[in-house]
């Protein structure tokens, strides 16, 4: 259950641009199309302390020492498009981190399965018992 507004979170996202690698020829060497969306989880005004703790526990490896979640995008040749992609990815990561998983209910093994396993085991033991005893082992 996600309890934050995307518009509120968007106001707290900062952006950093840099030169992108990959296709583009000479254009890629002079234009900063790679975009990093930076969201400071620790100082967010719109997330509760419980949400911050949940995010930290689920995606703590992706959060820097400064409590920043950084998502980069350099898929397109347009800085504007990469900014949209990075923002969308960041929001998706936050949403996934805030989804509470259902508690697993352990299932019961049906009685018929248990009986079948025991019958197969007994049959296998009898087969192996018939095999031994044919030759003297002295």
- For the domain that residue 73 is a member of, what is the CATH number? 3.30.160.20
Structure confidence by residue, pLDDT tens digits, 82-106: 999 999 999 999 999 988 888 999 9
How far the first Cα of the chain sits from its last, in Å, is: 72
Confirm whether 17 is domain-assigned. Answer: yes
Confirm whether 109 is domain-assigned. Answer: no
Whether the CB-CB separation of 39 and 9 falls below 8 Å is answered with yes
* Cα 67–chain centre separation: 18
Query: What band does 112 get if pLDDT is binned at 50, 70 and 90?
Result: very high
* Cα 45–chain centre separation: 24
pTM of the predicted model as reported, rounded to 2 decimal places: 0.69
Confirm whether 132 is domain-assigned. Answer: no
Task: Provide the residue range defining the domain that includes 17.
Answer: 6-98
Confirm whether 78 is domain-assigned. Answer: yes
- The number of domains in the chain is 1
pLDDT(120) > 80: yes
Confirm whether 128 is domain-assigned. Answer: no
Phi, then psi, of 40 in degrees rounded to 5: -85, 105
Phi, then psi, of 63 in degrees rounded to 5: -100, 135
How far apart, in whole angstroms, are the C-alpha atoms of residue 55 and residue 125?
53
Higher pLDDT residue, 21 or 106?
106
How far apart, in whole angstroms, are the C-alpha atoms of residue 89 and residue 64?
17
Confirm whether 59 is domain-assigned. Answer: yes
Confirm whether 117 is domain-assigned. Answer: no
Confirm whether 115 is domain-assigned. Answer: no
Whether the CB-CB separation of 38 and 4 falls below 8 Å is answered with no
How far apart, in whole angstroms, are the C-alpha atoms of residue 76 and residue 97?
26
């Amino acid at each position: 259950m996600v309890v934050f507004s995307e518009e509120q979170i968007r106001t707290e996202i900062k952006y950093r641009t840099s030169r992108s690698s990959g296709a583009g020829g000479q254009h890629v060497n002079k234009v900063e199309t790679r975009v990093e969306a930076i969201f400071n989880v620790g100082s967010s005004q719109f997330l509760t302390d419980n949400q911050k703790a949940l995010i930290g526990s689920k995606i703590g490896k992706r959060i820097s020492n400064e409590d920043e979640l950084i998502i980069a995008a350099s898929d397109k040749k347009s800085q504007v498009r990469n900014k949209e992609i990075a923002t969308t990815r960041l929001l998706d990561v936050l949403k996934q981190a805030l989804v509470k998983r259902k508690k697993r209910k352990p299932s019961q093994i049906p009685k018929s399965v248990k009986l079948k396993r025991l019958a197969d085991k007994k049959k296998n033991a009898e087969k192996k018992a018939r095999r031994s005893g044919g030759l003297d082992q002295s």
